[in-house]
């Protein structure tokens, strides 16, 4: 297992500086991480820093609440792709899901972003810490129906991050038709391995260095 090839090396905090983004990209090159994950404004910078490498750039959309309109999410996603992103991590409309009765709108929201980015990878972030078991199952179904490539546990900005129980539930619901990204609170090699052994295809973390170089 090459743990580095599972990692989306991430910095999404509000205080991230230009130098922080450059450092993130430098570390991604040094450790051959699969991707970096950044806020939309920094996609162009990451693209310039990662030129002539095969490291992917993931950009977050509707982050971290998922409460922007489909139109805004689509335009944000398109702009990120135009700037050099290869993957979009969009936040599902959590409040709408919890309202009940809006499943068609949520599915159309996801589908619209996927259509806008074409063959580029779409990951749908659930923010599982706010969802009931039934809501998590519904989110899996809607993402699968809408053509998402990945479903993702968390933004890292909620009250909780990834759990093994949530990932197992997600795996059970999609039956291999959609890949899983675990993110939020994964900070060491042992934890990362547990998720990979369970079946996730990607780990979102700001602790990539600590994971690949445990002390």
Per 3-state DSSP, what percentage of the chain is helix, strand, and coil (rounded to 5)? Answer: 50, 15, 35
Average per-residue pLDDT in the chain?
97
Query: 44 with 72: CB under 8 angstroms?
Result: no
Query: Which residues is 60 bridged to in the sheet?
Result: 89
Average pLDDT over residues 40-50: 98
pLDDT value of position 33: 98
Q: Which residues are catalytically annotated?
A: 89, 152, 181
Tokens of 41: 């404004």
pLDDT value of position 118: 97
Is the pLDDT at 91 greater than 80? The verdict is yes
- Residue 136 φ then ψ, to 5°: -65, -40
Average pLDDT over residues 86-112: 97
Q: Tell me how many domains the chain contains.
A: 1
Q: What CATH number has the domain bearing residue 66? A: 3.20.20.70
% of the chain at pLDDT higher than 90: 99
What is the C-alpha to C-alpha distance for residues 5 and 33, in angstroms, rounded to an integer? 5
Q: What is the DSSP letter of 62?
A: S
Q: What is the pLDDT of residues 141-191, one digit of tens each?
A: 999 999 999 999 999 999 999 999 999 999 999 999 999 999 999 999 999
pLDDT value of position 72: 98
Average pLDDT over residues 41-67: 98
Query: 202 with 8: CB under 8 angstroms?
Result: yes
Query: 170 with 144: CB under 8 angstroms?
Result: no
- Burial degree of 71 (CB within 10 A; 0-12, 13-18, 19+): exposed
% of the chain at pLDDT higher than 70: 100
pLDDT value of position 151: 98
**Left if phi > 0, otherwise alpha if psi is -120 to 50, otherwise beta: which for 186?**
beta
Range of the domain at 150: 3-212
Is the pLDDT at 1 greater than 80? The verdict is no
Angle between helices 189-198 and 164-174 (to 10 degrees): 20
Average pLDDT over residues 15-39: 98
pLDDT value of position 214: 85
């Amino acid at each position: 297992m090459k743990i580095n090839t599972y990692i989306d090396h991430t910095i999404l905090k509000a205080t991230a500086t230009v130098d922080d983004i450059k450092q993130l990209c430098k570390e991604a090159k040094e450790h051959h991480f699969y991707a970096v994950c950044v806020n939309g404004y920094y996609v162009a910078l990451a693209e310039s820093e990662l030129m002539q490498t095969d490291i992917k750039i993931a950009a977050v959309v509707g982050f971290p609440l998922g409460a922007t309109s489909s139109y805004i999410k689509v335009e944000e996603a398109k702009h990120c792709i135009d700037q050099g992103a290869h993957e979009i991590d969009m936040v599902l409309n959590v409040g709408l899901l919890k309202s009940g009765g809006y499943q068609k709108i949520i599915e159309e929201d996801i589908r619209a972003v996927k259509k806008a980015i074409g063959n580029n990878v779409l990951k749908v972030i659930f923010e599982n810490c706010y969802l009931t078991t039934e809501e998590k199952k519904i989110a899996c179904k809607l993402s699968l129906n809408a053509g998402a490539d990945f479903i993702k546990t968390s933004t890292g900005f909620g009250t909780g991050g990834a759990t093994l129980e949530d990932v197992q539930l997600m795996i059970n619901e999609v039956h291999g038709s959609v890949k899983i990204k675990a993110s939020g609170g994964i900070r060491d090699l042992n934890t990362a391995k547990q998720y990979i052994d369970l079946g996730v295809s990607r780990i979102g973390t700001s602790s990539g260095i600590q994971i690949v170089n445990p002390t």
